[in-house]
Structure 1
Amino acid sequence: MFNNIQLDSPNLGDKEKEYLIKCIESGYVSTAGPFVPEFERRFAEFLNVNHCVSVQSGTAALHMALYELGIKDGDEVIVPAITFVATVNPIVYCGATPVFVDVDKDTWNIDPREIEKAITPKTKAIIPVHLYGNPCDMDKIMEIAMKNNIYVIEDATESLGALYKGKMTGTIGHIGCFSFNGNKVITTGGGGMISLNNEEWASHIRFLVNQARDIAQGYYHSEIGFNYRMTNLEASLGIAQLERLQEFLEKKRMYFELYKEIFNGIEEITVQKEYEGAESSAWLPSVKIDCKKVGMTIPQIQDELKKRGVPTRRIFNPIVDFPPYKEYKKGNYFNSYEIFENGLNLPGSTLNAFENIEYAAKALLNILNIKREVNI
């Protein structure tokens, strides 16, 4: 058994210590100081967008995007049935109604055909989620949005570095949102980022997240604002992590390719697929297991993997099953439930060695009693 296999733990080292010490020694540890604007500038440069505004979380990023676009009571926002609940909560914060639609059976991302069916005169926005780092079919989604005069807010919280036809996720829609939680591609401990090219929106969001304070007039507030600012401590960590991002992406994609190679041709296991022209960030490598065929449930498989030192995570539960959202359960979510019942996240942390990933994959084959020679 391999010890210390990591599911999604952050990769922190000397560079992160160096930047944190530099921040502490500067005295700029809170929201005022040079590290936050520098992180925003570098992040915008990486994405090739005009503006980035840092916030306290991916949830805050989504909330601010919806708020800035004027989403309010009586409006509808289309979202996939499978995502983390943080995608949906900000819709309700704004008083709007989430409209859940099913996902594609192969990519597990929001199905553009289901989006079209769900559009009503009240629809004001779509939030495509690049699930587990896998880009959505953005060409079709943007086509639908333009045809119906609807905003697109990309939930790119899991997909930093992912590409769709040469463009970074989070830069294709009207606004992109990222998360830097401890388990994401890069981390600031918490934190998030809003990416956009509209200068007016960016300026106003920057104003709102600082309690809508007009600094030129001291403590004067012309609007209701939010305390969503990132701290310099977080930003200094983010700068260090951003400098290592390519290293992280290379490792994650290498691990993802290894899983695909080992599971290739095995009917009982299918890897989350990418659309043509898309390249996942491979944040969390994910597979679907034919549980009926193997005669085991996902929790049973997880228990057996845990005994062998392999941490896993279940696919997100369809949100329409949660008490606050049951009233919004309107349609057929066959693919979402099928993926939840059969899906599994496998180790993808960049702290792992190549051998850890190979061991995890072989352990799954062993548990499912699938005999196969694997030569890597």
Structure 2
Amino acid sequence: MSRPSISELERKYLLDAFDSGWISSLGDYVVRAEDKLKTIGGVTHAAVVSNGTTALHLALLALDIGPGDEVIIPSSTYVATLNAVLYVGALPVIVDVDPVTWCISPDAVHEALTTKTRAVIAVDLYGHPADYGSLREICGPAGVVLVADAAESIGGSLQGVPVGALADVSTFSFFGNKVVTSGEGGAVVTQDAEVDRRIRKLRNQGNHEDRRYFHDILGYNYRMTNLAAAILCAQLERLPELLSSRQGVVEQYDRLFELNPTLVPQGRASGAAASPWMYSLELKGELAGRRDDIMSQMRAEGVETRPVFNTVESMPYLKSFRSSPTPVAGTLAKSGVSLPTFPGMTPSEVEHVVTSLFRACGLTK
């Protein structure tokens, strides 16, 4: 599905961090990575952390969201979005997604609001920014915080505003298959100085700002190491190159699937520049019911694929939640498939994936 692009620059920075002796969570590369993220995200504050899930957890903690609060999330998302809400003891309120972009539906959010709603987490599914303009119009008057789970969308934008500056607080993931990686890693970015201060304190065991080894709040060890930050710095410097390479893959897929009514790619909203993370499409008609068999046949030919995320309300450990109908997310969970997408993927590799898919579907190109 994905192959990271690791160059000599990553090796150079990693060995420099190693040789410096600063291999844990203090070191120049941590600061450099945060500075680079501020520029890329168009924000004044950025804090790197151990992974994308801890970034979401810290964001909700810093916003003082907890038991008795409701947090609206989309049905179509990776389970980390749900888990972060459960970690803080809040009640997840699960709503449907837009049938075109597959991102959280603003109309569904509006209908789900109650006096207990404290936050909305919008997920930029597969790299496409959610409709933050409409979400802000809903959240602002209601006094609800808008959080962006931008794990998959670094480098994207909406109406010219970069991902990172579209919500009150945004989180990134730098897992090995993401647009930029540090192996494991994440970040929280914001314009709010107080939220950033709390993030930094919470990620460092709740350590008091002035009194060493005195912890006046419950904190967590969610820090990023200088070694991981060194790899991240190189990846962030190479972001334009990585985006361009991935975009070439996406454009080739688009041409090969053009006007095919039974293989419909995730749509794109006007004014949205999606980050080209993972090319995903919905199987239509009789192909929808054959999705898993089609994926199995492709796997037998050496082509790995991924199903679109299961609905979060289907997770068996989820005991307490509120949900409205989620027909779009439910359909995508059964009929959606993601195809290999990574920088350096050759035109012949893309062609091979598409040929395998058409063959498994019984279609001719």
TM band (smaller chain): over 0.9
Q: Encode CA deviations 1:282-338: one digit per residue, 9 max, x unaligned.
A: 201001011x43475111111111122211001100011111225426321111111
Aligned to 1:334: 327
Cα RMSD, aligned residues only: 1.3
Q: Which residue of 1 aligns with 2:53?
A: 59
Deviating above 4 A after TM superposition, structure 1's stretches of 4 or more consecutive aligned residues are: none
- The 5-angstrom pairing of residues 1-376 of structure 1 reads 7-214=1-208, 216-290=210-284, 292-294=285-287, 297-325=290-318, 327-328=320-321, 330-372=323-365
Cα displacement (A) at 1:218: 2.1
Gaps of 5+ in 2: none
Counterpart of 2:100 in structure 1: which amino acid?
D
Contact (CA 8 Å) 1:11, 1:351: kept in 2 or not?
yes
The two structures have a TM-score, normalised by structure 1, of 0.94
Q: Aligned partner of 1:271: which letter?
A: P
Taking structure 2 as the reference length, what is the TM-score of the superposition?
0.97
> Which amino acid in the other structure matches residue 122 of structure 1?
K
Please report how far the alpha carbon of residue 366 of structure 1 lies from its aligned counterpart in structure 2 after TM superposition.
Answer: 2.4
State which drifts further: 199-208 or 72-81: 199-208
Please tell me whether the aligned partners of residues 75 and 311 of structure 2 are also in contact (alpha carbons under 8 angstroms): yes
Q: Percent identity?
A: 35
**CA 1:39–1:170: 2 relative to 1, 3 Å:** same
Following superposition, the deviation at residue 281 of structure 1 comes to 0.7
- SS in structure 1 opposite 2:165? coil
Change in 2 beyond 3 A, CA 1:346/1:205: same
Q: What SS does the corresponding residue of 1:128 show, helix, strand or coil?
A: strand
Question: CA separation in 1, counterparts of 2:210 and 2:60?
Answer: 27
Q: Would the aligned equivalents of 2:74 and 2:122 in 1 still touch at CA under 8 Å?
A: yes
Aligned mates of 2:323, 2:205 — CA distance in 1: 37
Unaligned runs of 5+ in 1: 1-6
The answer for the alignment partner of 1:4 in structure 2 is none
User: Contact 1:156 / 1:170 at 8 angstroms: preserved in 2?
Assistant: yes
- 1:105·1:339 contact (CA, 8 Å) conserved in 2? no
What is the rounded CA distance, in whole Å, between the counterparts of 2:191 and 2:280 in structure 1? 32
Instruction: Tell me how far apart the structure 2 counterparts of residues 198 and 28 of structure 1 sit (CA, whole Å).
Output: 29
Q: What's the secondary structure of 1:100's corresponding residue?
A: strand
Q: Which amino acid aligns with 1:346?
A: L
Deviation string, structure 1 residues 32-76 (Cα, Å, up to 9, x no partner): 121111110111112221010011111111111111111011000
